[in-house]
Chain A
Amino acid sequence: MRLGKRRLGTLVLGVLFLALIAGLVACGGEKSTESTTGTTQSSGGAGATGTSAAGGSGSADEPVLRVGALLSLDSIQGVEMKKWLQLFAKLYNDAGGWKIGETTYRVEPMFYDVGMWDATKSRSAVEKAVLQDKVKYLVCNWGDIPAETLSVTEPNKVLWLGLDFVDDSVKPTLNYAVRAQGLFFAQGLFYYICQDYIKQGAKSVLVVCPDTQQGHVGAQLVGATATTAGMQVLDPIFFSADTADFSPIATKIASQKPDAVFFSYVAGASLINAIGALKDTGWKGFILPGELDGETLNNLVAKVGKEYVEGMETGSYDPRPVEKDPQTLNYIDAYQQQYGDWHSEGCFWIGPWFIFEDAINATQSTDVDTLVAYLTSSKKGVRTLTGYSQLFARPDLQNYKTVDSAPGHYIGVVRDGKFEYLETIACKDQYLSSIKVYGLKDVYQKYWDEYGYPEFPDQPARLDFSDL
Chain B
Amino acid sequence: MTLQLFLQILVNGLMIGAIYALVASGFTLILGVLQVFNFAQGQFYMLGAFATYAVASVLGAPYVVAILAALAAMALLGILVYFSIIKWTLRYGFFHTMLATVAFGTIVGQAAVLKFGYSTAVVAAVVDKTLALGGVSLNSGKLLVLAGALVVMGLLYWFMRTKIGVAMQACAENREVACLQGINAGKVFWVTMAVGCALCGVAGALVVPVLSASTNMGQLIFLKAIIVVLVGGTGSMAGALLAAFLVGIVESFAFQYVESFAPLVIFALVAILIYFRPGGLLGKPLPIPGQ
Contacts and interface: CB of A to CB of B under 8 A. Distances in A.
Given A252-B255, A280-B130, A245 B12 contact: yes
11 contacts: A1-B87, A1-B90, A12-B84, A13-B84, A13-B85, A16-B80, A247-B15, A251-B8, A252-B259, A272-B212, A281-B139
Interface string B139-151: 1011000000000
A245 B259 contact: no
A1 B186 contact: yes
Interface string A353-372: 00000000000000000000
A239 B255 CA distance: 8
Instruction: Label chain B's interface by main secondary structure.
Output: helix
Contacts of A345: 118
Nearest to B16: A245
A282 B132 CA distance: 11
B210 interface: yes
A26 to B, nearest CB: 9
Given A1-B186, A12-B84, A282-B137, A248 B251 contact: yes
Given A28-B114, A248-B255, A280-B130, 8 more contacts: A211-B259, A244-B217, A245-B16, A245-B19, A248-B9, A252-B256, A268-B120, A305-B128
Contacts of B186: 1
B272 interface: no
Nearest to B185: A1
B220 A237 contact: no
B291 interface: no
B12 A247 contact: yes
Contacts of B252: 247-248, 251
Contact of A251 (B5, B114, B210, B221): B5
B88 interface: yes
A383 B121 CA distance: 34
Q: How large is the interface on A (under 10, 10 to 19, 20 to 34, 35 or more residues)?
A: 35 or more
A101 interface: no
Contacts of B80: 16
Contact of B117 (A210, A240, A244, A343): A343
Interface in B133-181: 137, 139, 141-142
Interface string A303-314: 101000000000
Contacts of B8: 251, 254, 281
Nearest to A252: B256
Contacts of A28: 114-115
Given A20-B107, A211-B260, A248-B251, A272 B118 contact: no
Interface stretch (A294-302, A399-407, A452-460): A294-302
B12 to A, nearest CB: 4
Interface string A201-219: 0000000001100000000
A76 interface: yes
A251 B255 CA distance: 10
A76 B117 contact: yes
A48 B118 CA distance: 31
A273 interface: yes
B137 A295 contact: no
Contacts of B217: 244, 269
A280 B9 contact: no
A264 B88 CA distance: 48
Contact of B260 (A238, A244, A247, A343): A238
A306 to B, nearest CB: 12
Nearest to A248: B255
Contacts of A300: 122
A239 B259 contact: yes
Q: List the 7 shortest-distance A-B pairs measured between CB atoms, nearest first.
A: A211-B260, A269-B214, A248-B255, A247-B12, A280-B139, A76-B118, A269-B120
Contacts of A54: none
B142 to A, nearest CB: 7
Contacts of A305: 128
A303 B12 contact: no
Given A240-B263, A251-B12, A302 B88 contact: no
A243 B256 CA distance: 14
Interface string A30-50: 010000000000000000000
Interface in A11-29: 12-13, 16, 20, 23-24, 27-28
Interface residues of B, number: 53
A280 B211 contact: no
B262 interface: yes
Contact of A280 (B85, B121, B142): B142
Interface string B205-216: 000001110101
A9 B88 contact: yes
A24 B142 contact: no
Contacts of A75: 118
A276 interface: yes
Given A76-B117, A244-B217, A302-B122, A282 B111 contact: no
Contacts of A23: 111
A169 B136 CA distance: 51
A303 B124 contact: yes
A94 interface: no
A27 B114 CA distance: 7
A330 interface: no
Interface in B182-196: 185-186
A450 interface: no
A249 interface: yes
A276 B260 CA distance: 19
B26 to A, nearest CB: 17
B139 A249 contact: no
A280 B210 CA distance: 9
A303 B141 CA distance: 12
Interface string B247-283: 0000110011001101100000000000000000000
A467 interface: no
Contacts of B15: 245, 247
Interface string B51-79: 00000000000000000000000000000
Contact of B221 (A6, A31, A244, A252): A244
A272 B122 contact: yes
Contacts of A244: 211, 217, 220-221
Nearest to B91: A1
A61 interface: no
Contact of A276 (B16, B118, B210): B210
Interface in A195-243: 210-211, 237-240, 242
B91 to A, nearest CB: 6
A27 to B, nearest CB: 4
A254 B130 CA distance: 15
A132 interface: no
B119 A268 contact: yes
A299 B88 contact: no
